[in-house]
Amino acid sequence: MAVEQITYKNIDPRTRNTIMFGLCFAMMIACFDGTIVGTCGTVIAEELNGLGLYSWMVTAFMLCETVVIPISGKLSDLYGRKPLFLIGLTLFVAGSLIAGMSTSMEMLIVCRGIQGLGGGILIPVATAAVADLYAPEARAKMQGILGAIFGVGSGIGPLIGGYITEYVDWRWVFYINIPLAIVAYALTLKKFPAPILDEKPSVDYIGMAILSVLLVDVLLYFEFGGNKFEWLGLQGILMIAFALVLLVVFIKQEMRAREPVLSPKLIHNKTVVMAAVFMFIFGVGMIGAMIYSNMFAILILNLTTLEAGYYSLAMVAGMMITALTSGALVQRTGYKIWLTMGPIIAFIGLYLMSRMTIGTDLTYYAMCLFVLGFGLGCMMAVIMTGVQNSSKSNEIGMSTSSVNLLRSIGSTMGTAIFSMLITSRLNGEFAANVPADVVSILPSGTEALNYLGSQEFVNQLLGMGYTYPDGVMGVFHDILLSFANSVDFAFIAGGCIMVTTAIIGILFKVQKPVEDEPTVEVTE
């Protein structure tokens, strides 16, 4: 008996809506768990006696998430979205459950890695599944919804983490994922579009292994370069050389693979190439602004971490408005207006942020965040829709994940770039604003800020003849002013980086695929 062939043209609307709700729940938990430890990480590390491993709570998640993005995208093309989605959701739930039960920092870091693997599957598969469920003209609206959820999830993560840690217990930062995941399971477990497999798929295991090692090398270079080792020191040069060798080997492997994990033919799709470059630059600008705007609020504007989380909702609100609006209107307006307007508005937001200093009104700060979010929200849904509508039916997962991969790499590089900009500027600001005898006892770069509140530093100032509180507080003011000026410099530099994507936006054009959409069946 023949199996009914299902496409977006004849899929049951109730089935489609049910699946979409499930995708939204999964996207939400994957996004906010990437940032949720931002406000409670120190509390967790102190309780588990692992402050020395603090950074690995974020790094383990980021590494595993980024590495698995291209692999999950390709496998979802070969085996369908459902099995990959359920595997990703299961990994995420398992990682969350065990993370909440952690008795050591090492155990928690491993669990964060498992969560990252799950998140790296959920986000690209959920994004790609939109193309299975909706016609090309309807995809933008749904991508807008996912884009809004991405912004909301990433933005409220620190707020949720801070609230739960303060009023409940940090372990519920991870346990909270479980009921949400159960809802996602219930909505997607029974019915989900899947491809008809005429033969056993060919999996490029060698390519996946090479790409994984390459990505780990690149991400660790940008994560720890300038801190754990010199950018162009011996270790840094060896990592660069290793990455270049792996890149050459990977390209050769993909050229001869039957089903390459990242097909070299993608480079001939101008839409995918422009989208990947666009989202790479987007990632650089977005993550730096989000991280250091929060730091600015806490250190310079004297907000608590929880208060800073509340103010970050202004950025989330801006992103939601334009993510939903751009998705709903792009079929009428075209792509270019959003991809040129978005970078310009984001630049304006970052320029306004670069004018902040000690004592800046909090209303002004919230306005800056809203404008920045308003600009960022113009871009993600539009880009992803263009990529899917220009991709062949059997390559949608691969092309979507390749763009997500470049955004993730850009985010990692953005953190490093902003850190370098701030550190390089900070030394000059110290020389201009802080007395030379104080500068001589300060650690280099942003480490000086950690030293600022220590009793040891206060004692040193008193020993140097500075009076308390006037003299000591005056030194504190000068140091904080130097940091504010340095972050302002990074904001305007980030804005200049972001606005360059407007050039890509002007040139952006959707290249229609040669093949039609795939036929799929609904599996029970």
The percent of residues above 70 in pLDDT, for the chain, comes to: 94
pLDDT of 447 > 90? The answer is no
The percent of residues above 90 in pLDDT, for the chain, comes to: 45
pLDDT of 3 > 60? The answer is no
Distance CA 56, CA 53 (A): 6
Please give the pLDDT value at position 499. 94
Mean pLDDT of the chain: 87
From 38-47, 236-245, 289-298, 515-524, the region with the lowest mean pLDDT: 515-524
290 against 30, higher pLDDT:
30
Mean pLDDT of 184-206: 79
Distance CA 251, CA 254 (A): 5
Run of H or E including 166: helix 136-167
Please give the pLDDT value at position 207. 96
Please give the pLDDT value at position 195. 65
Kindly indicate the confidence band of residue 52, based on its pLDDT and cuts at 50, 70 and 90: confident
Mean pLDDT of 4-14: 72
Please give the pLDDT value at position 519. 44
pLDDT of 284 > 90? The answer is no
pLDDT tens digits for 71-92?
Answer: 999 999 998 888 999 999 999 9
**454 burial via Cβ count (<10 Å: 0-12, 13-18, 19+):** exposed
Please give the pLDDT value at position 4. 56
Please give the pLDDT value at position 109. 94
Mean pLDDT of 262-286: 91
pLDDT of 518 > 60? The answer is no
Distance CA 524, CA 194 (A): 10
Please give the pLDDT value at position 245. 97
Predicted model pTM: 0.88
Long-range contacts of 195-202 (CB under 8 A, 24+ apart): 195/78, 195/79, 195/80, 195/518, 195/519, 195/520, 195/521, 196/3, 196/5, 196/519, 196/520, 196/521, 197/79, 201/78, 201/79, 201/259, 202/78, 202/257, 202/258, 202/259
180 against 362, higher pLDDT:
362
Q: Which two tokens stand for residue 174?
A: 């991870």
Mean pLDDT of 340-354: 96
pLDDT of 297 > 50? The answer is yes
Kindly indicate the confidence band of residue 515, based on its pLDDT and cuts at 50, 70 and 90: low
Please give the pLDDT value at position 27. 85
From 424-433, 485-494, 507-516, the region with the lowest mean pLDDT: 507-516
Distance CA 304, CA 302 (A): 7
Please give the pLDDT value at position 8. 74
Mean pLDDT of 236-240: 96
Please give the pLDDT value at position 514. 60
461 against 344, higher pLDDT:
344
pLDDT of 427 > 60? The answer is yes
Mean pLDDT of 237-254: 96
From 70-84, 151-165, 261-275, 483-497, the region with the lowest mean pLDDT: 151-165
pLDDT of 523 > 80? The answer is no
Kindly indicate the confidence band of residue 524, based on its pLDDT and cuts at 50, 70 and 90: very low
pLDDT tens digits for 386-419?
Answer: 999 999 878 899 999 999 999 989 988 888 888 8
495 against 53, higher pLDDT:
495
Place of tokens 């090692």: 213
Long-range contacts of 425-430 (CB under 8 A, 24+ apart): 425/485, 425/486, 425/489, 425/490, 426/482, 426/483, 426/486, 429/481, 429/482, 429/483, 429/485, 429/486, 430/479, 430/482
